[in-house]
Amino acid sequence: MAIPSRRELHRSRRRRRSPGQRVLRGLIAFVAVLLVLVLAGFGYFKYQWGQIASAPCPTCVAAANGAPYNLLIIGSDSRAGETAAEAQQFGSAQAAGGQRSDTLKIVHVDPAAGTASTLSIPRDTFVTITGLAPDSGLSAQNKINAAFSNGPDAVVQTIENTFGIPISHYIVINFFGVEDAVNALGGISLDFPYPVRDQDCSTGTCYNNSGLSIPTAGCQTLNGAQALSLSRSRYYQYYADGYWQSDPSSDIGRIERQNLVISAALNKAKSTYDPLELNSLLSSVVHDFSKDDGLSATDLLSLAERYHAFSGSSLQNYTLPTTGAQSSYAGDVEVVEPDAAATVITQFLGGPFGTITTPPIDQYGNPLTLTVPTTTTTTAPVATTAPAASSGPTHPSPAAGSTTSIPSYDPTPC
């Protein structure tokens, strides 16, 4: 009897391979190809990430591996680099020179618990600015948005010294970044109970301040320009009972609507999450952002992986409690309510805040004392309710731990 050759034995084994084995081999091949694609995608992602402008942040506080940390998001009103169409939409660099922080939000990330929350600081909050350049021509006692005139590190220093909140990273986003990000997501869905617009008549001549115009009620998809105009609206009006009615809360209402836009964007990102699509999103906004050089591509991918199923409704939103007042040299300002602010900051951080070296000030420039509460509730957000119309822009603080209330005239994610 002839002994079968090695080639004949190999062919025999291949013939006897079961369907299950063939499926397994196919799966292994598929996984191998997928890994190659993901690694190639990550390489391109890192390349795109490297195109984002970065700068050192000397006062940023490094967080221990896996420990909670705070990310500062600065919305810049700089018009630098805008096109002619964007200048018409936002105003030209000549008409609105320099840069201020149009929006200040701190994101508290707890990787171990898988939670995140935001704290909004009204841009007119009256503080003593740290890190202001001597030749800036600005007073150190100023609205907090003036700190950005000396760059993001001055904002980081001011927040850390004024509120005892350590900042580990920052991201600066300009007007165009909001548009591009929302467009890259394919729009966001919001349900408007009434038609809305942004009508400013403070100068005696009425005009649409941010370009917001939603003429019909109902659930609809907003593109980037519409989402940005909603986020920027400070003279928000809604059409009900036969006439246009105004939101009296000004910047506080604006913060609420920014949170709604963020919530809707999170919901859209959750429903369409795909690690390979991060490249497309990043490439569309790469020139609209800047960041501290300690924030790496790996950090962002880790956050995306951990929070890709995180819904907008799970995001707790806090707003620093303030009361509107008049300063003799700074005009309309927001004065921090010390006791309520101390409670909110402690809830937001899930523990006590750090040392305060330059406390917030009242309208006369006198320092205010923030004391860590002896007992706090850290599980529920603090409401940011809109006040009734009054002669001055006051924003009374709700009871600590109460449920966030969205005014009936604001949109909601749908």
Same domain, yes or no: 221 and 119: yes
Asked whether residue 214 is domain-assigned, the answer is yes
pLDDT at 403 over 50: no
- Shared domain for 36 and 93, answered yes or no, is no
- Alpha-carbon distances, residue 172 vs 53, 54, 81, 268 (angstroms): 10, 10, 15, 22
Lowest mean pLDDT among 22-36, 202-216, 277-291: 22-36
Same domain, 209 and 304: yes
- Answer yes or no: do 148 and 113 share one domain: yes
Banded model confidence at residue 119, pLDDT cuts 50, 70, 90: very high
- 113, 306 Cβ separation under 8 angstroms: no
Q: What's 230's domain CATH number?
A: 3.40.630.190
Q: pTM for the full model?
A: 0.75
| Within a domain: 38 | yes
In this structure, the answer to whether residues 387 and 344 fall within a common structural domain is: yes
Q: Is residue 16 assigned to a domain? A: no
Q: Which residue has the tokens 């040299």?
A: 329
What pLDDT is recorded for position 268? 82
Do residues 33 and 78 both lie within one domain?
no
Task: Count other C-beta atoms under 10 Å from residue 107's C-beta.
Answer: 18
Predicted confidence band of residue 352 (pLDDT cuts 50, 70, 90) = very high
Q: Please report how the helices 251-271 and 224-232 are oriented relative to each other, as an axis angle in degrees rounded to 10.
A: 150
User: CB–CB of 359/283 below 8 Å?
Assistant: no
33 and 164 share a domain?
Answer: no
Q: Residue 15 falls within a domain, yes or no?
A: no
Look at residue 12 and tell me if it is in a domain.
Answer: no
Q: 22 pLDDT band (50/70/90 cuts)?
A: low
Length of the chain equals 414
How do residues 383-401 score in pLDDT, each as one tens digit? 333 333 333 333 333 333 3
31 with 123, same domain: the answer is no
Number of folded domains in the chain?
2
Which is more confident, 278 or 324? 324
Question: Which of 110-114, 158-162, 181-185, 400-404 has maximum average pLDDT?
Answer: 158-162
- Please check the confidence at residue 368 and state whether its pLDDT lies above 90: yes
Q: Which of 265, 280, 183, 175 is nearest to 223 (CA)?
A: 183
Percent of the chain whose pLDDT exceeds 90: 41
Segments forming the whole domain that contains residue 252: 54-413
The rounded distance, in Å, linking the Cα atoms of 100 and 195 is: 30
Q: Is residue 14 part of a domain?
A: no
For residue 164, the model assigns a pLDDT of 97
Do residues 342 and 357 both lie within one domain? yes
* Claim to verify: residue 67 and residue 90 sit in the same structural domain: yes
Give the model's pLDDT for residue 92. 43
Longest Cα pair distance anywhere in the chain, in angstroms?
111
Contact 116, 107 (CB under 8 A): yes
Same domain, residue pair 28 and 162: no
CA distances from 59 to 15, 160, 289, 299 (A): 67, 9, 20, 19
pLDDT band at 26 (very low <50, low <70, confident <90, very high): low
Residues 27 and 160 in one domain: no
Q: Is 11 part of any domain?
A: no
Question: CA 1 to CA 370: how far, in whole Å?
Answer: 97
Query: How far apart are the C-alpha atoms of 113 and 106, rounded to whole Å?
Result: 18
Q: Which of 15-24, 206-215, 355-364 has the lowest mean pLDDT?
A: 15-24
Q: Is residue 309 part of a domain?
A: yes
d(CA 25, CA 21): 6
For residue range 135-172, what is the model confidence (pLDDT) as tens digits? 888 899 999 999 998 899 999 999 999 999 999 999 99
